[in-house]
Amino acid sequence: WVTYAPYVKAINALKKERNAVILGHNYMTPEIFHGVSDFVGDSLQLAMKASDVDADVIVQAGVHFMAETSKILSPQKTVLMPDMDAGCSLAESITAAGIDEMRAKYSGAPVVTYVNTTAEVKAASDICCTSSNALQIVNAMESDTVIMTPDKYLAQNVASQSHKNVVYWPGSCIVHEQYTAKDLREFREWNPGTRLIAHPECPPDVVAEADFSGSTSGILKYVTDEKPEKAMLITECSMASNIADRLPEVDFVGPCNMCPYMKKISLEKILWVLHSGENEVLVDPTVAEKARQSVQAMIDMSR
């Protein structure tokens, strides 16, 4: 912590000078999450915050699609990305042509697109969703068949709880797809009494083996409400690190998987973009306008 202190001090001072805020995703490392973020949360919470926060500059401590979402919702603000290569395997799995392909295959079905996508893909979709509102949004569609892109596991997990015929694009998250149901069964056997909590980007048999599944904010709420003696979070490693000190009564145990994209963000890079103004995220205004309709439709349904 001591070695981080000069960076934290410099970043917090520069934020005031630039009238900037840092939006930190739950998967940021603790020194970013606790040390410099003004608002922390899951994808939905950060998108909603981007649209109503009073600031000239947003530094997105997260991945690129999150920064694009902030720019789409706040075109008048400067949005800075500490590392332009902080991508996402889901966002890279589909282009707008993929949406056209699905529309041609399932004519008339609405397209519900996960926010983990580029602005072009959002613009080609009817509405967005995050893992915290996906079921609600799919169920609210008028059509019996609903297209979900690009996460096949999120789609399968939604389908298992919905009366809709959910068809989907075959994308996946490289972090959550690594977990297997066998891992969870073995872990439970070796560590009886541990509560297993999985993100819905995990395969359905993993989710079925878990005690609870939810978005990163859903996971925080579940652990806060339930306060299990021991918990294993079947998600990105920083999630447990960030909430462990708020919940000293819970013992966070077990292995975790690291997101190589989220881990590209560091205090040094945040300081650099705040100082230099480099790495501004821009979205073509025509694309942004269409993408905004998809994101706003989701936000309106989630309030």
Strands (E), 77-235: 78-80, 111-114, 127-129, 145-149, 165-168, 194-198, 212-213, 230-234
Give the closest residue to 207 by CA, choosing from 175, 250, 177.
177
Per-residue tokens: 56 = 């000239």
Strands of 17-141, DSSP E: 20-25, 39-41, 57-61, 78-80, 111-114, 127-129
Q: Which does 174 bind (CB under 5 to 8 A by kind): ligand SF4, ligand 13P, none?
A: ligand SF4
Q: How big is the CA angle at 202 (ends 149 and 146), to the nearest 5 degrees?
A: 30
Asked if 118 contacts 68 with a C-beta cutoff of 8 angstroms, the reply is yes
Buried b (16+ CB within 10 A) or exposed e, 181-213: bebbeebbeeeeebbbbbbbbbbbebbebbbbb
Asked if residue 58 lies in contact with residue 23, where contact means CB atoms within 8 angstroms, the answer is: yes
Pick one of 60, 74, 131, 172: the residue that binds ligand 13P (CB under 6 A): 131
CB of 239 to ligand SF4, least distance (A): 10
Is residue 30 exposed (0-12), middle (13-18) or buried (19+ Cβ within 10 Å)?
middle
Q: How far is the CB of 264 from ligand SF4 (least distance, A)?
A: 10
- From the CB of 136, what's the least distance to ligand SF4, in Å? 20
116 is an interface residue for ligand SF4 by CB under 6 A: yes
CB closer to ligand SF4 out of 63 and 206: 63
Residue 59, classed as helix, strand or coil, is strand
Q: Is 230 helix (H, G, I), strand (E, B) or coil?
A: strand
Q: Is 97 exposed, middle or buried (0-12, 13-18, 19+ CB in 10 A)?
A: exposed
* Of positions 262, 274, 287, 288, contacts ligand SF4 by CB under 6 A: 262
Six-digit token string for 157:
């997990």
Tell whether 273 is in a known binding site: no
Q: How far is the CB of 78 from ligand 13P (least distance, A)?
A: 23
Q: Among ligand 13P, ligand SF4, none, what does residue 130 contact (CB within 5–8 Å per kind)?
A: ligand 13P
Q: Per CB under 6 A, does 216 bind ligand 13P?
A: yes
# residues contacting ligand 13P (CB under 6 A): 10
Decide if residue 72 touches ligand SF4 (CB under 6 A): no
Separation between Cα atoms, residue 248 and residue 148, nearest integer Å: 38
Q: Is 34 labeled as ligand-binding?
A: no
Q: Which is nearer to ligand 13P, 126 or 201 (CB)?
A: 201
Show the site string, 1-40: x = touches ligand SF4 by CB under 6 A, - = not: ----------------------------------------
The distance of closest approach from Cβ of residue 150 to ligand SF4 in the complex, given in angstroms and rounded to an integer, is 10
Binding residues for ligand 13P restricted to 90-129, rule: CB under 6 A = 116
Binding site for ligand SF4 (CB under 6 A): 63, 88-90, 116, 173-175, 201, 236, 259, 261-262
Residues within the annotated binding site?
25, 43, 88, 114-116, 131, 173, 199-201, 216, 259
Give the annotated binding-site residues for iminosuccinate.
25, 43, 114-116, 131, 199-201, 216
Q: Which residues bind ligand 13P (CB under 6 A)?
A: 26, 42-43, 116, 130-131, 173, 201, 215-216
